[in-house]
Amino acid sequence: MKDAAQATPRGTRTGFTTGACAAAAARAAVLGLAGGCVPDRIESLLPNGQRVWFEVHDGRCAPGSAHAMVVKFAGDDPDCTDGAHLTVDLQLLPGQAERVTFHAGDGVGMVTMPGLGLEVGGPAINPVPRTNIADNLREAAPALLAEHGVAVTISVPGGQEMARKTTNARLGILGGISILGTTGIVRPYSTAAWRASVVQGVQVAATVGHGLVALTTGGRTETFAIGALRAERPELPQACFVQMGDFLRYALDEAVAQGIPLVVLAVMVGKLTKIAQGETITHANRNVVDTDLVAEIARRIGASPADCEAIAAAETARFGAELMVERGLGDAFHHALAQAAIDTLLAPDRYDRAFTLRVMVCDFNGQCVADVLSAPALPRERPATAGRTGTDHLPDADGPADAD
């Protein structure tokens, strides 16, 4: 089993998400709730199925309650939550079998606006961490959960200050940080080592002889891309799929350098909007989603002026996408946004049809909502080095990749 503090070379060390650390603290606390003693070390289940050992601090329990804390290690990602104390307090809910409720303690934000896939007025604890925490509670103390429920309160001392270094307030998350993570693992997306690994991944994809590379932004989009593309071409190896994180520019430059004829982008609406607006470094702290562009796309497909105004005033692209789905315009909206991204990337001052581009868009449940193919690539000689295609002015990202 892997240890949360295992030694690996600097520059490539992975870390653990706030969600994974909270889940480990919750697992330790529920053992105290069930057995009267909180362990000082715990093996916790991550959302990706891995099991990792975490050190547990400040463990204590009383009748009907328990407390535990895990210190977050972010690896070599310059994450503002590195070293945060992910603190969990559990309260027994007598007789409420299997019920698990979530609450924001000090330093964890509250959701005040729609568009994030979370209940307005509820804690900023994302769905995957919620599921992972509940899975750990039920696995660690099945007899307890068979009879009673558990209220989970997550706190992060200093979380308000950490949140000032994020875009949470702009997104309507107030009072602290979000509890995030889709795999449990934080990769050093922002380091030179990670950028180099993206380039290397594209190089490997070019060598396996299938004529395509599928670029994804994270775990959910990779799972989506693998399922969709292997349904068409079961022979595609894992090497054709590259998690580029926020570094689209580096991945596309290398695709040009390697002469890969077909590039597939598997994305969700937030990153897709940033690409359509011309950003090829898509980190949340670098570039803000242009909701005016989202509103313009909605206007083109026949959305009402009132809806367009609401979309423009929103803080997330997801709000506009979900509103268009409610209005029965979801398919047209996602198709038009994907086409806008294609038009931007393959414009003469960008990649100038150096490859055929297929944009596949999935929703937050992993379902395909658009699949758009560009015109064929223009014939050209394969360049000797990575193509500099009008994107050199864009800055390198310097923060952790946001969730896909």
Least confident stretch, 13-27, 309-323, 386-400: 386-400
Mean pLDDT value of segment 137-163: 98
State yes or no: pLDDT of 393 exceeds 70.
Answer: no
Res. 403 pLDDT band, cuts 50 70 90:
very low
Query: pLDDT tens digits for 252-287?
Result: 999 999 999 999 999 999 999 999 998 765 454 445
Mean pLDDT value of segment 245-258: 93
Tell me if 195 sits within 8 A of 247, measured CB to CB: yes
pLDDT of residue 14: 87
State yes or no: pLDDT of 340 exceeds 50.
Answer: yes
Query: pLDDT tens digits for 152-184?
Result: 999 999 999 999 988 788 778 999 999 998 889
pLDDT of residue 384: 41
**Rounded CA gap, 27 and 14, in Å?**
22
- Residue 91: C-alpha distances to residues 19, 24, 32, 54, 310 (Å): 19, 16, 11, 22, 40
pLDDT of residue 310: 97
pLDDT of residue 307: 97
pLDDT of residue 190: 56
State yes or no: pLDDT of 21 exceeds 90.
Answer: yes
pLDDT of residue 195: 80
**Which tokens is 404 given?**
């896909």
Give me the residue label for tokens 């999935």: 362
Mean pLDDT value of segment 135-139: 98
How many whole angstroms from its chain centre is CA 101? 23
Largest CA distance in the chain: 73
**Which tokens is 368 given?**
């395909």
Residue type, 67: H
| Burial of 282 from C-beta contacts in 10 A (0-12 / 13-18 / 19+) | buried
**Rounded CA gap, 111 and 349, in Å?**
40
Mean pLDDT value of segment 227-236: 97
Query: pLDDT tens digits for 188-222?
Result: 765 666 787 789 889 989 988 999 999 999 888 99
Residue 179 per-residue DSSP state = B
| Burial of 203 from C-beta contacts in 10 A (0-12 / 13-18 / 19+) | middle
Tell me if 148 sits within 8 A of 95, measured CB to CB: yes
* DSSP letters spanning 62-96: ETTEEEEEEE---TTS--TTTT-EEEEEEEEETT-
Count of beta carbons in the 10 Å neighbourhood of residue 8: 10
137: number of CA atoms within 13 Å, CB side? 33
**Which tokens is 397 given?**
């990202």
Count of beta carbons in the 10 Å neighbourhood of residue 165: 13
Res. 345 pLDDT band, cuts 50 70 90:
very high
Q: State whether the Cα torsion 22-28-32-35 is positive or negative.
A: positive
- Measured at the CA of 117, the angle between CA 164 and CA 231, to 5 degrees, comes to 120
Count of beta carbons in the 10 Å neighbourhood of residue 55: 16
Residue spans of beta strands (DSSP E) within 105-186? 107-108, 110-111, 149-155, 173-174, 176-177, 185-186
Count of beta carbons in the 10 Å neighbourhood of residue 39: 16
**Which tokens is 147 given?**
């009879």
Query: pLDDT tens digits for 56-83?
Result: 999 999 999 999 999 999 888 778 899 9
**Rounded CA gap, 379 and 41, in Å?**
59
Beta bridge partner(s), residue 103: 153
State yes or no: pLDDT of 87 exceeds 60.
Answer: yes
pLDDT of residue 287: 55
Residue 381 per-residue DSSP state = P
Query: pLDDT tens digits for 363-385?
Result: 988 999 999 999 999 887 654 43
Residue type, 372: V
Averaged pLDDT of the chain: 88
**Rounded CA gap, 210 and 132, in Å?**
36
Tell me if 276 sits within 8 A of 344, measured CB to CB: yes
**pLDDT-above-90 percentage for the chain:** 72
**Which tokens is 370 given?**
């658009």
| Burial of 45 from C-beta contacts in 10 A (0-12 / 13-18 / 19+) | buried
Provide the whole-model pTM: 0.70
